Amino acid sequence: MLKVAIIGASGYTGVELLRILVGHPEIEICCVTSRQHEGLPINRIFPSLSGFCELVCEPLDVDAIAKRADLVFTALPHKSAMEVVPGFLAAGCKVIDLSADYRLNDQAVYEQWYQTHSSPELLDEAVYGLPELYVDQLRTARLVANPGCYPTSVILALAPLIEKQLVDPMSLIVDSKSGVSGAGRGVKLGSLFCETNEGFRAYGIGSHRHTPEIEQELAGLSNRGLRLSFTPHLLPVNRGILSTCYADLLEDKSTDELIDLYQQRYNDESFVRVMPEGQLPNIAYVRGTNFCDIGLVSDQNTGRVIVVSAIDNLVKGAAGQAVQNMNVICGFHDALGLGIVPTFP
Amino acid sequence: MLKVAIIGASGYTGVELLRILVGHPEIEICCVTSRQHEGLPINRIFPSLSGFCELVCEPLDVDAIAKRADLVFTALPHKSAMEVVPGFLAAGCKVIDLSADYRLNDQAVYEQWYQTHSSPELLDEAVYGLPELYVDQLRTARLVANPGCYPTSVILALAPLIEKQLVDPMSLIVDSKSGVSGAGRGVKLGSLFCETNEGFRAYGIGSHRHTPEIEQELAGLSNRGLRLSFTPHLLPVNRGILSTCYADLLEDKSTDELIDLYQQRYNDESFVRVMPEGQLPNIAYVRGTNFCDIGLVSDQNTGRVIVVSAIDNLVKGAAGQAVQNMNVICGFHDALGLGIVPTFP
Amino acid sequence: MLKVAIIGASGYTGVELLRILVGHPEIEICCVTSRQHEGLPINRIFPSLSGFCELVCEPLDVDAIAKRADLVFTALPHKSAMEVVPGFLAAGCKVIDLSADYRLNDQAVYEQWYQTHSSPELLDEAVYGLPELYVDQLRTARLVANPGCYPTSVILALAPLIEKQLVDPMSLIVDSKSGVSGAGRGVKLGSLFCETNEGFRAYGIGSHRHTPEIEQELAGLSNRGLRLSFTPHLLPVNRGILSTCYADLLEDKSTDELIDLYQQRYNDESFVRVMPEGQLPNIAYVRGTNFCDIGLVSDQNTGRVIVVSAIDNLVKGAAGQAVQNMNVICGFHDALGLGIVPTFP
Amino acid sequence: MLKVAIIGASGYTGVELLRILVGHPEIEICCVTSRQHEGLPINRIFPSLSGFCELVCEPLDVDAIAKRADLVFTALPHKSAMEVVPGFLAAGCKVIDLSADYRLNDQAVYEQWYQTHSSPELLDEAVYGLPELYVDQLRTARLVANPGCYPTSVILALAPLIEKQLVDPMSLIVDSKSGVSGAGRGVKLGSLFCETNEGFRAYGIGSHRHTPEIEQELAGLSNRGLRLSFTPHLLPVNRGILSTCYADLLEDKSTDELIDLYQQRYNDESFVRVMPEGQLPNIAYVRGTNFCDIGLVSDQNTGRVIVVSAIDNLVKGAAGQAVQNMNVICGFHDALGLGIVPTFP
């Protein structure tokens, strides 16, 4: 049994890792940490876990934990993550980092959008944990940079078109909508029920930190420049991201032809479901699961293709993808422990 | 006192007309009709109206109603509306039609998107009821085609840019999100609580019937062609439409300059609130009111402007705008009876 | 014009007072305070108020404000309220206090449930601001203790039965459910969207601070002892309280007879709507308004009566009732400025 | 592999049976039926099931299905169920009926609350499928009457107290709140999003059909009469029932003592989680799972005990309990295939 530790277990990503991992047949959770709830059983913080996990929250002692764990999930905010990741690696642990700290290859870009990086030497080594793009590199990775939730939904939606140079990369517009859990479990005014329920708004237009991450990955698939508008919105639901992506087609392709292309591209992937013509994704159909559902329409009137993708931001957008990455680097089937059926309604 | 009748009072647009009109100082509601609930007091159908309106639902007898009413609101589905509108006009009533039947100037376009038109001779006469564009024509109108909810939010968002030729009209992308009341009070699977709550999806991509209406109005402001992608989405809230509109700027304009332009354009309008730089609309801030809030960002990185507008689909998107139109054609102040303060939260 | 000040304007009760008062024909808001947002225009904190109120948040300077205001609404947490109320009174202002500080007549009871009282000498003078019970005392009041939200819904539901000695006061069970705004705008984990949405739970069983307030008022109507179980629950909606009240009937009364009794009792009240047999209240039917809707069933099988009441916790449960009280003590019609029609859906 | 058929697969109970059964290691789903969607793949009706189930909806042909199935789940409305259950039994199938048709032992009571019973001879044989009460009878059952959702939550909440004669059975008051999926997937006005969202109401006071079912089971545990008030409410969430139960204690028992009693009573049960003192159930903590969480408070001031239980109405209240019953009658571990971890948030 692989011993895994969860650093930062009292956030929504933490509890989601626990939800998935308590049923995983090849691992054992040896440690959960929480600065805020040290000494408290995790099932007191999350009574949903009652009967599944009796662990008590520990303080974050890198050396002590590294002795007991083979693999560590760091579910900390950016900046906090890079304070501990090098230590776990040095002590021989594999690390799957769910923060933004190792996602950007270019230190300068990171420092422009976040702050000074304290372990830039790891940026080259870190593998961007999107198995649909990097499964070979992941197999031997020591440090995985688990992708952001928005980028996961956008990259999977647009990759087939950009890989095949079917759309003008200067024409990309991405309109994304995320459930409130994307803002984390931190206690802030904007996440209050009454501030979000029955409301809907855009935020961070032209300035959201996931923009450079999307650009980095899509640019890597394109042989040309890239011009991307990315607009996130806050959706009054617990979970789910739906991204509506617009691009100008460079050649005439029917909806049917494009769906074929997507089905071939993702045929071997465990967690991408390409929808038949006439059907479109709904965040309700992927709830609680690691799926990314993709639907699309080629609009003959405008010469544009509209691709819609739906994920659960806490699963394929965070904890589920992290477990998928763990499966890959440990040599398990990538879907092991992730065969959750969506709960509808 | 002006006598008004509400045809089709038992839908969400009907009850919203009643909510607004029971407090209007210059009118008297003389009749409400409902095929389905004939003989039932309207406050039994909508207990919210208890104490405000004791009227009993009548059958739809055009001649009898026309004798008692000066002005008629037809809150019927398209096709049903055009079966009665000519009769009310012939009997001397003014008509504000909330259906789509008289919104499109071109009969062929109407028949392509809907069905055969039975009174095409009225298409020329009908005035498109967006006071911010057509207030002069409305003053003397006999028949008002009250705009669709999506078109209202989109046209107000984009008109200033297109009027001033500041954006490339071939570059327009509109990503709209509507609350569930936009689907009406008809009993259908897709409007069930469990089918929409905690869900989010796009629908009618490239094929929504509001597309030609938006195109007609924006094309009328442009001296060039127009290429518009319009994607509606279903939002799990009762009320509200938020439209996120993308366009390529033809000349470099800062956010500040564009906000100035919008503030000048809408300075004299009672119901358009242009937000200061750094603020963006939220459907929660216009709930229950006739406001259209507009915010925008000029994104220097992409050369695009992103305009976001928010309305309450049942008010500025339907009943409120209808009352505003009534005020205009009756010579009242256009905000009379519409001074509702948004309810937040 | 009466000059009024709102102390603590940046909470949900504060913005609700503003929503109602900006349209009140006999008053002028001369001051809003907010410790946290001093110097910020209130319409920046609540963009919903844009166009209605341009006031800037001031610090809480009792003397300075008392010079400008005739009447003060204190919308502060308990304990903070009693730090300023005596000062406003001493300076000649009338005060409507929306906290719990002056609701309990008995200092010992207050101190058992809250903390030491710093101005117990005012407890006798303060009038409990439920106009349906105390309108005569309110007319000459200097200090009004505006009732709690739960107590308002419960007392109005049970008063007619207890006044007439129709039920056993030892048999009272009240099961109440409140929307999340009842917890205020304070930033706490339990009020986060994801902690409440799609959830439902009881809290404070047998220990909620509104219990002694309900007991005080119902005991005052009874000539016997009182045994009350009060269980509050947290409902995933923005607004609304529904209280389901159970009592053993002392004599056989039909539903019809009891509804008659309620209609007579509340016939002259502006804001109590007794529903006809077969209809039951819904918080959606009172949203945004000062109404208390009451429905009831006499259950012949059990000999119990079940009374259900619905209010908007921010209106009849707080700000609306406060304005109603202001109207009474100022000699206006008690419904002045409160003729809001419920927004449904 | 046991072959099972699901009769009525296109409702919420049907899709929930599928969600659970597609992952069950000992069974194979051989048939799904839907009158309305005959010929349509079930994963077109429920895209959430895409990748998990490719079955096509069949018409309801009892003989043909009985030849292929060992066990049949009938997820039909009452009355429709009893039209086919006898046929399946006669053909040798075991039947788990999720309707109300075989829950009441007494034909007269059934006919008073429902309608004429067409197979009353089966009422005696049918075993009430609450494993926590009837596990021995279930082991050899041919026909299981799967309990109603409300009754499951109420009986599990009150059974320990009534079995031990600790409360006065004449004092029972049950205030229950159910999510909207409890009303099924039928297309009716009251289940529309806008009619329920942001609303809350009681319904069927003193007249809900689950009342006799609760009374039958609780009376069976009591050696005295029973007087029960049962009030259901409609909660604006997809899933979940929370029942708040009130009873007069016959002897003084502390919260702690009563929790002990419950923990002993349910110690061997797979799906009842008794919460420690100070914690109360939340429907969010059992979402998607077969758990019944129970918390309680002994209120010294009133001499009453308040017991709160939470279930997912579609799982422990329907499909999950049905699978648990299948496990019991087939000799599997009762939790087989039901080890789902709650999804929070």
- Asked if C22 reaches chain B (Cβ–Cβ under 8 Å), the answer is yes
A224 phi and psi angles, rounded to 5 deg:
-130, 180
**D67 close to D44: Cβ distance less than 8 angstroms:** no
* Out of A188, A196, A236, closest to residue C187 by CB: A188
Per-residue pLDDT 10s for chain D (345 aa) are 999 999 999 999 999 999 999 999 999 999 999 999 999 999 999 999 999 999 999 999 999 999 999 999 999 999 999 999 999 999 999 999 999 999 999 999 999 999 999 999 999 999 999 999 999 999 999 999 999 999 999 999 999 999 999 999 999 999 999 999 999 999 999 999 999 999 999 999 999 999 999 999 999 998 788 999 999 999 999 999 999 999 999 999 999 999 999 999 999 999 999 999 999 999 999 999 999 999 999 999 999 999 999 999 999 999 999 999 999 999 999 999 999 999 999
Report CB contact under 8 Å: D280, C201: yes
- Asked if D177 reaches chain C (Cβ–Cβ under 8 Å), the answer is yes
Please say if the pLDDT value at position C121 is more than 90.
Answer: yes
Mean pLDDT in residue range A192-213: 97
Kindly give the residue spans of alpha helices, DSSP state H, lying in A164-310: 193-196, 210-221, 255-265
Chain B, residues 284-313, CB within 8 A of chain A, namely 284, 287, 297, 299, 301-304, 306, 308, 310
pLDDT tens profile B286-340: 999 999 999 999 999 999 999 999 999 999 999 999 999 999 999 999 999 999 9
Q: Where are the beta strands (DSSP E) in B48-113?
A: 71-74, 94-97
Mean pLDDT in residue range B5-28: 98
Which of the residue ranges A222-231, C14-23, D87-96, D201-210 would you say has the lowest mean pLDDT? A222-231
Each residue of C274-309: b (16+ CB within 10 Å) or e? bbeeebbbbbbbbbbbbbbbbbbbbbeebbbbbbbb
**Among positive and negative, which fits the CA dihedral D249, D251, D254, D256?**
negative
**Which residue, B67, B112, B108, B62, is CA-closest to B82?**
B62
Identify all chain D residues contacting B187, using CB atoms and an 8 Å cutoff.
187-189, 192
Identify all chain B residues contacting A287, using CB atoms and an 8 Å cutoff.
198
Kindly give the residue spans of alpha helices, DSSP state H, lying in chain D: 12-21, 42-45, 62-68, 80-90, 107-113, 131-139, 149-163, 193-196, 210-221, 255-265, 320-330
- Asked if A219 reaches chain B (Cβ–Cβ under 8 Å), the answer is no
Distance CA B81, CA B90 (A): 15
Report CB contact under 8 Å: D199, C175: no
Kindly give the residue spans of alpha helices, DSSP state H, lying in C71-115: 80-90, 107-113
Task: Look at the block and give the residue holding tokens 């000029």.
Answer: B298
Rounded to a whole number of angstroms, the distance from the CA of A55 to the nearest CA of chain B is 31
Task: Look at the block and give the residue holding tokens 């039965």.
Answer: C161
Joined together, the tokens standing for residue D261 give 């009693």
Give me the pLDDT at residue C288, please: 98
**D45 close to D37: Cβ distance less than 8 angstroms:** yes
Comparing alpha-carbon positions, the chain B residue that sits nearest to D194 is B238
Which residue ranges form the domains of chain A, and what is each CATH number? 2-146+318-329 (3.40.50.720), 150-311 (3.30.360.10)
Comparing alpha-carbon positions, the chain A residue that sits nearest to B171 is A171
With residue B219 as reference, give the H or E element that holds it. helix B210-221
**Among positive and negative, which fits the CA dihedral C126, C132, C138, C144?**
positive
Amino acid at A275: M
Identify all chain A residues contacting C195, using CB atoms and an 8 Å cutoff.
193
Distance CA A338, CA A29 (A): 16
Give me the pLDDT at residue A118, please: 98
Give me the pLDDT at residue A224, please: 81
ipTM of the complex: 0.97
**Which residue, C292, C295, C126, C286, is CA-closest to C213?**
C126
Which of the residue ranges A257-271, B214-228, C140-154 would you say has the lowest mean pLDDT? B214-228
pLDDT tens profile A3-35: 999 999 999 999 999 999 999 999 999 999 999
Identify all chain C residues contacting A193, using CB atoms and an 8 Å cutoff.
180, 191-193, 195-197, 236, 238
Task: Look at the block and give the residue holding tokens 């008073």.
Answer: D112
Q: Which chains have at least 3 CB atom pairs separated by less than 8 Å from chain C?
A: A, B, D
Q: Which residues of B participate in catalysis according to the annotation? A: 149
Please say if the pLDDT value at position A307 is more than 90.
Answer: yes
Going from the C-alpha of D29 to that of each of B218, D37, D73, the distances in angstroms are 55, 18, 11
Report CB contact under 8 Å: C239, B48: no
Give me the pLDDT at residue B181, please: 98
Joined together, the tokens standing for residue A171 give 């024409």
> Rounded to an integer, what is the distance from CA A76 to the centroid of its chain?
14
What strands lie across the sheet with A2-7, from one edge to the other?
A27-33, A2-7, A71-74, A94-97, A143-145, A127-128
Please say if the pLDDT value at position A39 is more than 90.
Answer: yes
What strands lie across the sheet with B228-235, from one edge to the other?
B201-202, B228-235, B172-179, B241-248, B304-311, B292-299, B272-274
**Which residue, C165, C123, C161, is CA-closest to C144?**
C123
Please say if the pLDDT value at position B223 is more than 90.
Answer: no
- Asked if B238 reaches chain C (Cβ–Cβ under 8 Å), the answer is yes
Each residue of D278-302: b (16+ CB within 10 Å) or e? ebbbbbbbbbbbbbbbbbbbbbeeb
pLDDT mean across residues, chain B: 97
Identify all chain B residues contacting C22, using CB atoms and an 8 Å cutoff.
341
Report CB contact under 8 Å: C237, D198: yes
Please say if the pLDDT value at position A167 is more than 90.
Answer: yes
Q: What is the DSSP letter of A167?
A: B
Cross-strand bridge partners of residue D127: D144
pLDDT tens profile B110-162: 999 999 999 999 999 999 999 999 999 999 999 999 999 999 999 999 999 99
Joined together, the tokens standing for residue C164 give 């007439």
* Out of C194, C198, C237, closest to residue A12 by CB: C194
Give me the pLDDT at residue C317, please: 98
Distance CA D323, CA B165 (A): 65
- Asked if A341 reaches chain C (Cβ–Cβ under 8 Å), the answer is no
Task: Label the pairing between strands C94-97 and C127-128.
Answer: unpaired
Give me the pLDDT at residue D225, please: 85
pLDDT mean across residues, chain C: 97
pLDDT tens profile C50-84: 999 999 999 999 999 999 999 999 999 999 999 99
Identify all chain B residues contacting A201, using CB atoms and an 8 Å cutoff.
242, 280-284, 308, 310
Report CB contact under 8 Å: C287, D202: no
